[in-house]
Amino acid sequence: MSTNKGKFITLEGGEGVGKTTNVPFIRDYLESRGIPVTVTREPGGTLVAEKIRGLLLDKNSEDLTDQTEILLMFAARSQHLKKVIQPALAQGQWVLCDRFTDATYAYQGGGRGMSLAVIQWLENFVQGDLRPDLTFLLDIPVEIGMSRAKNRSVELDRFESEHSQFFDRIRQVYLQQAQHYPARIKVINADQPLESVQEQLIETLNKLLS
Ligand code: Z5A
């Protein structure tokens, strides 16, 4: 049984759905309700995990095999869990994480075609019984997300340089995950003005708070 005093919230979705935009909004809302929040991200969140992130996103390095990619994701996650997420939850902080293991199901499972059973085994091995209390899945059609991401005018990384079918498969697996875990994963229609997206976020946060 979990001894965590804080709640673990993750944000998920494909390219350019608005995770980075909405993380500070959720943090500010929770803090305004007196809740201490640790904001973090995956891959990354610790010194070593951020170095692994650099390896994973670098498109000018040697090709990574799909096995290397997934093992690096879980290596970074293990470090992040032990050094940041679990200590914060144990102290009563709420942890707000930009992407977590649903991204591995979507990107490595859906995108790369890795076995979902292997991902599940690694999830249990690295996380034990720790799962998010709430996951926001920001959902928009792939082409809209890609065009939003391109408008940011930064160089595309190794994942962002993939083709649209890769992102179609990712979206499908995310939506399947939401069907499997309807109590945990809240699908947000992110193809709306930011204010409407944020109204949906607050509605769900209020349920968790009450
Ligand atoms: N990855 C993986 O493969 N496996 C794993 O297990 C994990 C990750 C954990 C790094 O992720 C990569 O790691 C990721 C998957 C892989 N690669 N990809 N792709 P990341 O989260 O750091 O990077 P990202 O997915 O590329 O995030 P992003 O492109 O920065 O998207 P975002 O944060 O969701 O979007 P945003 O930056 O908030 O918004 C994009 C633009 O849209 C921006 O100009 C906003 O102002 C605008 N925006 C936002 N909301 C709206 C609305 N509602 N209307 C109009 N415009 C909006």
d(CA 16, ligand 1 centre) in Å: 4
26 lies in some domain: yes
Could you give the number of structural domains in the chain? Answer: 1
Q: Which domain holds residue 150?
A: 8-209
**167 CB near ligand 1 (under 6 Å):** no
- The domain that holds 73 is classified in CATH as 3.40.50.300
185 lies in some domain: yes
| Cis-peptide, bond into residue 43, ω within 30° of zero | yes
Q: Which residue of 69, 99, 143, 189 sits with most ligand 1 atoms within 8 Å of its CB, as the best mutation to test the pocket?
A: 99
The set of residues, in sequence order, having a beta carbon less than 8 Å from that of 84 and lying 6+ positions away, is 38, 40, 45, 46, 95
**43 CB near ligand 1 (under 6 Å):** yes
Beta strands in 66-201 (DSSP E): 94-98, 134-139, 185-189
Compute CA distances 73 → 24, 44, 84, 99, 187, whole Å.
24, 9, 16, 11, 24
**69 CB near ligand 1 (under 6 Å):** no
d(CA 1, ligand 1 centre) in Å: 33
In order along its 210 residues, the chain shows pLDDT tens digits of 567 789 999 999 999 999 999 999 999 999 999 999 999 999 999 999 999 999 999 999 899 999 999 999 999 999 999 999 999 999 999 999 999 999 999 999 999 999 999 999 999 999 999 999 999 999 999 999 988 887 776 788 888 888 889 999 999 999 999 999 999 999 999 999 999 999 999 999 999 998
172 lies in some domain: yes
Residue 95: other Cβ atoms inside 10 A: 24
158 lies in some domain: yes
167 lies in some domain: yes
2 lies in some domain: no
Residue with the nearest Cα to atom 39 of ligand 1? 18
Model pLDDT for residues 21-79, shown as the tens digit of each residue: 999 999 999 999 999 999 999 999 999 999 999 999 999 989 999 999 999 999 999 99
1 lies in some domain: no
The span from the first CA to the last CA of the chain, in angstroms, equals 22
What single DSSP character describes residue 17?
A: S
Amino acid at 107: Y
Please report the atom of ligand 1 found closest to the CA of residue 192. Answer: 53
Supply the pTM of this predicted model: 0.96
Q: Which residue of 56, 148, 161, 169 sits with most ligand 1 atoms within 8 Å of its CB, as the best mutation to test the pocket?
A: 148
